[in-house]
Amino acid sequence: MSKTITVASWAILSLIFLVINFSFFRTLREVWTSDSEFAYGLLIPPIVALIIWNRRRKLASMAASPWNSGLLIVLAGCILRILAGLSGSLVFSALAFPASLLGIVGFLWGRQYVRVLGAPIGLLVLMAPLPSYVIGEIAWLLQIVVSTMSSYALQIIGVPVYRDGNVLVLPNFVLEVKQACSGLRSIFALLSLALMMGLNLERRWLFRGLLILATPVLSVGANIIRVTGTGLIAWHFGELAANESLHAAWGVLVFLGTLWGLLKFLRLLQWATRPNAYSH
Q: How many CB atoms lie within 10 A of CB 175?
A: 25
Q: Return the pLDDT at 277.
A: 45
Radius of gyration of the chain (CA): 23
Q: Return the pLDDT at 246.
A: 66
Question: Which of 111, 127, 143 is a domain's end point?
Answer: 127
User: Does residue 279 fall inside a structural domain?
Assistant: no
Provide the CA 130 distance to its chain's centre, in angstroms. 11
User: Does residue 204 fall inside a structural domain?
Assistant: yes
User: Does residue 160 fall inside a structural domain?
Assistant: yes
DSSP secondary structure, 224-279, as one string = HHHHHHHHHHHHHHGGGGG-HHHHHHHHHHHHHHHHHHHHHHHHHHHHHTSTTTT-
Please report which confidence band the pLDDT of residue 273 belongs to, taking 50, 70 and 90 as the band edges: low
Select the more confidently predicted residue: 143 or 280: 143
Question: Percentage of the chain surpassing pLDDT 70?
Answer: 85
Looking at the structure, do residues 12 and 120 belong to the same domain, yes or no? yes
CA distance 4 to 132: 46
Domain that holds residue 165: 132-272
Q: What b-and-e string marks burial along 59-72, b requiring 16 or more CB atoms within 10 Å of the CB?
A: eeeeeeebbeebee
* Number of residues assigned to the chain: 280
pLDDT tens, 238-267? 676 666 666 677 777 877 888 888 888 878
On whether the CB atoms of residues 180 and 223 are closer than 8 A, the answer is: no
CA distance 208 to 231: 35
pLDDT tens, 23-57? 788 888 888 888 766 777 888 888 888 888 888 88
CA distance 240 to 188: 30
User: Does residue 55 fall inside a structural domain?
Assistant: yes
Average pLDDT (225-247) is: 76
Question: Which of 84, 100, 127 is a domain's end point?
Answer: 127
pLDDT tens, 134-191? 777 888 888 889 899 999 998 988 888 888 888 888 888 888 887 766 667 677 778 7
pLDDT at 280 over 50: no
User: Does residue 260 fall inside a structural domain?
Assistant: yes
Check residue 63 and report its DSSP letter. Answer: P
Looking at the structure, do residues 110 and 227 belong to the same domain, yes or no? no
Give how far Cα 162 sits from Cα of 43, 141, 175, Å: 40, 19, 10
The reported pTM is: 0.68
Looking at the structure, do residues 249 and 166 belong to the same domain, yes or no? yes
